[in-house]
Structure 1
């Protein structure tokens, strides 16, 4: 696999994490370097970990994983999105800074990296050198997620509750898109 092909895969895999990072940036009142680092580490770390796991799972579990990944992502993103909408409607500002805690970030990191698990399985079939591949994916996602938090925060400072509502809707739509693509409804 060429470096260019790996770059395209890395950017493609990181787009969900980038979009979610923008949403997370919307919910942070005062952006601190730790927020950028947290988003980058969660999303970049899981985008590196999942293809590694997929690589080791290989052929024996391929049909099991690919048959359920879209449902898992749909449910996780939907629940998180509905929660963001509920918080925006309730004006629940005391929980905004908690949006970067483990309870919020872990399900998002898992949901946005499930497709990377399938990519890891593909890497096993293609006999890709896994260490450089997952490192490249992780670093790319880290950088894009960190930028996404900053972009979301700049936007969110102007629109606050409406931005949180929008972020929740985006997450729900992302989950729906993943589901519909895997069901063959969207091309």
Structure 2
């Protein structure tokens, strides 16, 4: 995929157009092959403060879909959110620092890794309570089933064990940064 195709997929003409929840959802949920280099180019073009806010809104929404009792999955999603938002906020805080480029590269890589884990890897076992039919789905699709179930849809049993195997990038945040994020 090239930059033009990515912008078309995200319904954008330029970086300033990346300002809606749907932009983040399309980026994270797409099964299209989007390289980390292309994600980096996108990050260079968009307002990263807006991006951080959109990421926070997106993760807040999908955290609501996690089944009751799946504390480890909920915690993992919260930690992924913190790392990504922390990276985006770090980049916006100091644009003249060499560390900024490195953090932007880390963020692009983290987004690429998340996309693959979330949308492309069948890592959640879903068992239909009625038929006992077993399906292996990506986290994205399993959480969609959870959401449908909460809205009166079919009931499933979920096993997120395999999906918990997600290695977070090392990113150091101060307690003040964490407190700011929780406000």
Q: Per the shorter chain, which TM-score range?
A: 0.3 to 0.5
Higher helix fraction: Structure 1 or Structure 2?
A: 1
Normalising by structure 1, we get a TM-score of 0.34
Higher strand fraction: Structure 1 or Structure 2?
A: 2
